[in-house]
Amino acid sequence: MTQGSERVAVVFGGASGIGAAIATRFTVEGWRVEVADLPTVDVTDEATVATFLDGVLAAHGRLDAVVNSAGVSTLGNVVDLDVAEWRRVVDVCLTGGFVVIKQAGRRLTAGGSIVSLSSLNARQPGAGLAPYCAAKAGLSMLTEVAALELGPSGIRVNAIAPGLIVTPLTQPAMDIAGIEDDYLENTPLGRAGTPDEIAEAAVYLTNAQWVTGEVLDINGGAHLKRYPDLNKHVLAAFG
């Protein structure tokens, strides 16, 4: 790889789903894009994140945008959930977000941008989703704090909070009878979003020079209604 004047973006969690759509959209927009994902890069491992970003800087001579799309989830009530499972989700969705923001904030070219993937669950609770909801709510607030701290350096920090997007992360839930219908009944626009629609928002936030500390809800209006009762559908499907 050679150094050049093209803007350079790194997408963590960019191998599939929303992250892959963002990486593709940035490429179409003329960016040089580097994808960081398992098994090579684990966002919970600070040393590998730092090493990857240093490699991008060495190869391209600049770093203009970093997107963190890495995420995992689980399903289990608070009183039943194993602590190790709680930590697994929080480590990826919140601690991983912290690691990416920390290391990106140290390396971004002046005027650079960080975009994280939060969730509708940052503001709307879902039974059985305690670690995911808590982690995404934390990530949204972390976005605001980091925007305050990095603003004087000219670095903008924003997040996107999608509603239902069918991806490898959400597909197992969609395969359970009744869940997708429940989501759509509680989405005023009546449909799921697409990874490309989230990618469009990521490009906007990266280019928007006077936007920082924003958590952009893209959920078809789902935040105006209620979250589906996942436990009810799981019980009906599996007893």
**191 has pLDDT over 80:** yes
Work out whether the CA dihedral 16, 83, 103, 42 comes out positive or negative: negative
> 152, 229, 156, 163: which is closest to 193 by C-alpha?
163
Q: Is residue 2 part of a domain?
A: no
| pLDDT tens per residue, range 52-105 | 999 999 999 999 999 999 999 999 999 999 999 999 999 999 999 999 999 999
Domain that holds residue 66: 8-234
CA angle 166, 133, 70 (to 5 degrees): 55
Q: Is 179 a member of any domain?
A: yes
| DSSP code of residue 32 | E
User: In whole angstroms, what is the distance from residue 181 CA to residue 163 CA?
Assistant: 14
In the chain, pLDDT over 90 holds for what percent of residues?
A: 88
Half-sphere exposure in the Cβ direction for 2 (13 Å, CA)? 2
- The pTM of the full predicted model, rounded to 2 decimals, is 0.94
> Residue 211: which CATH number?
3.40.50.720
In a domain, 227, yes or no: yes
Distance CA 68, CA 14 (A): 8
Residue 162 domain-assigned? yes
- Count of structural domains, the chain: 1
Tell me the DSSP string of 110-163. TT-EEEEE--GGGTS--TTBHHHHHHHHHHHHHHHHHHHHHGGGT-EEEEEEE-
Which residues are annotated as catalytic?
132
Q: Would you state the pLDDT for residue 3? A: 47
